[in-house]
Structure 1
Amino acid sequence: MKLSVPRRVPAVAVFALAGLLATAAPAASADPADVRPAPVSALAAPDIPLANVKAHLDRFQSIAGSNGGNRAHGRPGYKASIDYVKAQLDAAGFTTSVQQFTYNGTTGYNLTADWPGGDVNQTVMAGAHLDSVSSGAGINDNGSGSAAVLEAALAVSRAQLQPTKHLRFGWWGAEELGLVGSRYYVNNLSGTERSRIAGYLNFDMIGSPNPGYFVYDDDPVIEQTFKGYFAGLGVPTEIETEGDGRSDHASFKNVGIPVGGLFTGASRTKTSAQAQKWGGTAGQAFDRCYHSSCDTTANINDTALDRNSDAIAHAIWTLSAGDTTEPPGDVYENTTDVAVPDAGAAVTSTVTVSGRSGNAPAALKVGVDIKHTWRGDLVVDLVAPDGTAYRLKSSSGSDSADNVIATYTVDASAETANGAWKLRVQDVARYDTGYIDSWKLTF
């Protein structure tokens, strides 16, 4: 996982965090809607053998040891890691592709592997960054995610899985230098190719030695798939915030692809409440060896690695199976541009719903297209006709990407369907501008 990028200040080459959050409102989750739960008839995912995942980690450790102690971008240890993963997948019947890119004057590599069959217009991807920092072997960050995704792919081959959706797996280069590899991959997809990706699942640091169990909240269906799995184990989860926007899922999310994933914590300190919930040591980092030379095979919590590896398989089996399409609903849309003032008052755009009976649905879809040069500045709410506000997006000083293009799901069942619904947007920090391009409600 790369280091966070603090907020910039104009005219000087220094950075500072953005300002205060706006008043909270009931939460909703992003749901670009192409990935939905599989029917109950879907085949159960296999248990992923921990020993197999750890064998891959041993191999990554050995590769680093033979190549200057690391597996970093532009170093021989990274290319050797790509070659190892590719050989495993080729032998298992995948169609693999190595994509080259150049960064900082050196060649980097992405690896993708496609499993035969499934609807390519509904492709489910799972991926992880394969590079380490230059200071160590990077076994938790991110050998753990890379090894677990590899073993999940091999489990697909062993089961000769025939999912309804197409399956693709990815290993990204130069993540530690700023999501370079995954961004290069996404930017080189055509619009049609992007539209075929129903969801991307990201796994970065899933074996931290003092672990937490964190789930991305970017897409509600993917989120609930993981939460449901851990709930079945009796393991509580929390929403992932430490790495929000700092790993490869951001490259996909930035172009409107639904994303989700798992994380066990990096340099933040485990609280007493979290230690009581999950065990481990309060007052200590989730991973004391984050970006350090001690991130070796000794820096892995086997229980966390095992649970997360099985959760990956569960998500792949669940999200790729069955008929996951839904008939379209009635759409109410406003396409008139509304300027969002820099660090100014909230603005609104209105959609009027009429001719419906009863209340709004429990899964009201709110499609948002906001053009903005630093979306972390933005707070976005849906305001019901009676004035009740539902928080769609909070501000985040570290979220430096452009634009908010997503669909959110809101439980609006307490609201009368008919009336003037408003999208309310406020820029809460200075120096970046944008506008509401369009938004819509789908009943």
Structure 2
Amino acid sequence: MLRLGAAATAALALTLTTPAGPAGAAADPAPDIPVSNVTAHLSQLQSIATSNGGNRASGRPGFNASLNYIKGKLDAAGFTTRVQSFSGGSNLIADWPGGPANQTVMLGAHLDSVAAGPGINDNGSGSAALLENALTLAARKPTLTKHVRFGWWGAEEAGMVGSRYYVQNGGASGVEVYLNFDMIASTNAGYFVYDDDATLQRTFSDYFATIGLQTEGDREGDGRSDHASFKSAGVRVGGLATGAGAVKSSAQAAKWGGTAGAAFDRCYHSACDSYPSAINTTALDRNSDAIAYAIWKLAVGGTPAENDYSISVTPSSASVQAGQSATAAVSTQVTSGQAQSIALSAGNVPSGVTVSFNPSTIQAGQSSTVTVATTSGAAAGTYTIGLNGDGATADHSASFTLTVGGDGQGTTWTAYKAYAAGDVVTYQGSSYRCLQAHTSLPGWEPPNVPALWGRA
């Protein structure tokens, strides 16, 4: 995401309809995007950055290698690709054959990083999720009612140069909708949907409602990413984000989990924006599936999969002392169609806590025992842990609230929390005063970092 804001002019009012598909044809269900495939792309982008000076900035070797990696995957899958060069970088454009060429749904993400780091969340996350969605489209080969085009932009971090160049050189012609994905896996994730167009916003919000998540309109990214280039040309725009340098509120933490008072992305525009530490896999999985939902909704006319299930946890909360554990039952039920295999995992797990499932893979309609264990060093506090089901055709999650009462020694220091100079905490019975403002990380316990903490 671009650091500095940019004004975007009002978009022209256009009408978008969701086609029903050929008469009598069964709707092709939106696919579940394997998050492991998306993270494999991120691992490759990290390797590229590591081998090229630690970044993938536009016009530099790391960016060029990233573009070639994605282009190679798309070419092999049957896309028609072209590289559009401009002063300071290049764009990669990929068209999937099919659908009316003058009625295009376009999806994009900027591929460049800042010079300070590898840019794995900003914006390897959007680029990788877009790539895997494109490859899934190619593998599924659905009947298209709209043409589908993908774009990976250069020089977004320099002021949306690549997308603006594309639009100014006729790229927006025939594009009815542009969807943008910039930073969709922030570690302290929020679930933000661009609110530039109410219909497109509702498309994404409807998807997140199926997995029990409420969204908010994106404010932080207004005018700061590549959708602004299309909006200025009168194209209807939408998209997703999980937050950048803004701070998560208490209400947002209660709704989504994570840490209130801390940045959504603590490594925004920094060297630590690297794989895997800078990626929230749960958020990446959900947003990747949301992209697929939008493609199928807008260009294929499909609906969520007929095979579906619900997931719940009983009890939904527990209170323990540090060093203790709690168990609960994760239950699933078939809500439509046939039973499907579900892989269970946990998200938003705080430092000092582990979550395990027995068994870890079940069929819809079955249950699993989840064990939430804490170490003696787990920080006191209340945490919302996501218990996630990754099904063959649908993903759902349930929330488990864990309250840790402390380690018996009065620890109040918490990882992933923003501390200001002068703040006083207790760690294993000793009081410490914050010397420099910072956001705490695991391993930065007060006794370990005298540069940040002194005895109070």
Structure 1-normalised TM-score?
A: 0.65
- Check whether the contact 1:35–1:222 (CA below 8 A) recurs between aligned residues: no
Q: Does residue 119 of the first structure (1) align with residue 100 of the second (2)? A: yes
Q: Does residue 251 of the first structure (1) align with residue 229 of the second (2)? A: yes
- Check whether the contact 2:105–2:149 (CA below 8 A) recurs between aligned residues: yes
Instruction: Look up the match of 1:356.
Output: none
Q: Does residue 300 of the first structure (1) align with residue 282 of the second (2)? A: no
- Give, in whole Å, the separation in 2 of the partners of 1:36 and 1:278: 32
Match of 1:214 among 192, 196, 199: 192
How big is the shift at 1:36?
Answer: 2.7
- Check whether the contact 1:37–1:318 (CA below 8 A) recurs between aligned residues: yes
Q: Does residue 194 of the first structure (1) align with residue 187 of the second (2)? A: no
Q: Does residue 318 of the first structure (1) align with residue 297 of the second (2)? A: yes
How big is the shift at 1:195?
Answer: 4.0
Q: Does residue 131 of the first structure (1) align with residue 112 of the second (2)? A: yes
What residue ranges of structure 2 are gaps of 5+ in the alignment?
A: 303-456
Match of 1:171 among 152, 156, 160: 152
Aligned ranges for residues 260-409 of structure 1 at < 5 Å? 260-297=238-275, 298-322=277-301
Provide the aligned C-alpha RMSD in A. 1.7
- Check whether the contact 2:6–2:223 (CA below 8 A) recurs between aligned residues: no
- Check whether the contact 1:183–1:251 (CA below 8 A) recurs between aligned residues: yes
How big is the shift at 1:43?
Answer: 1.8
Instruction: Look up the match of 2:78.
Output: 93
How big is the shift at 1:121?
Answer: 1.2
- Check whether the contact 1:212–1:274 (CA below 8 A) recurs between aligned residues: yes
- Check whether the contact 1:124–1:200 (CA below 8 A) recurs between aligned residues: yes
- Give, in whole Å, the separation in 1 of the partners of 2:223 and 2:5: 9
How big is the shift at 1:30?
Answer: 6.9
Provide Cα deviations, 1:74-113, integer angstroms capped at 9, x if missing partner. Answer: 210000000000000000000000000013xxxx110010
Provide Cα deviations, 1:188-244, integer angstroms capped at 9, x if missing partner. Answer: 00xxx6341010000000000000000001112211110100011110000000010
The one-letter amino acid of 1:234's match is G
Counterparts in 2 of 1:308 and 1:120: CA distance versus 1, 3 Å: same
Provide Cα deviations, 1:270-326, integer angstroms capped at 9, x if missing partner. Answer: 000000000000000000000000001110101100000000000011101359xxx
How big is the shift at 1:143?
Answer: 0.1
Q: Alignment identity in percent?
A: 63
Structure 2-normalised TM-score?
A: 0.63
- Check whether the contact 1:131–1:138 (CA below 8 A) recurs between aligned residues: yes
- Check whether the contact 2:142–2:300 (CA below 8 A) recurs between aligned residues: no
How big is the shift at 1:45?
Answer: 1.0
Instruction: Look up the match of 1:233.
Output: 211
- Give, in whole Å, the separation in 1 of the partners of 2:12 and 2:293: 20
Relative contact order, higher structure (CA 8 A, sep 6+): 1
Q: Does residue 55 of the first structure (1) align with residue 33 of the second (2)? A: no
- Give, in whole Å, the separation in 2 of the partners of 1:134 and 1:276: 35
- Give, in whole Å, the separation in 1 of the partners of 2:37 and 2:220: 29
Instruction: Look up the match of 1:242.
Output: 220
What residue ranges of structure 1 are gaps of 5+ in the alignment?
A: 8-28, 324-443
The one-letter amino acid of 2:262's match is Q
Counterparts in 2 of 1:236 and 1:30: CA distance versus 1, 3 Å: farther
The one-letter amino acid of 2:31's match is P
Instruction: Look up the match of 1:73.
Output: 58
Q: Does residue 44 of the first structure (1) align with residue 25 of the second (2)? A: no
Instruction: Look up the match of 1:357.
Output: none
- Check whether the contact 1:141–1:204 (CA below 8 A) recurs between aligned residues: yes
SS in 2 for 1:299: coil
- Give, in whole Å, the separation in 1 of the partners of 2:285 and 2:262: 22
- Check whether the contact 1:186–1:251 (CA below 8 A) recurs between aligned residues: yes
Would you identify which runs of 4 or more consecutive aligned residues in structure 1 move more than 6 Å? none
SS in 2 for 1:199: strand
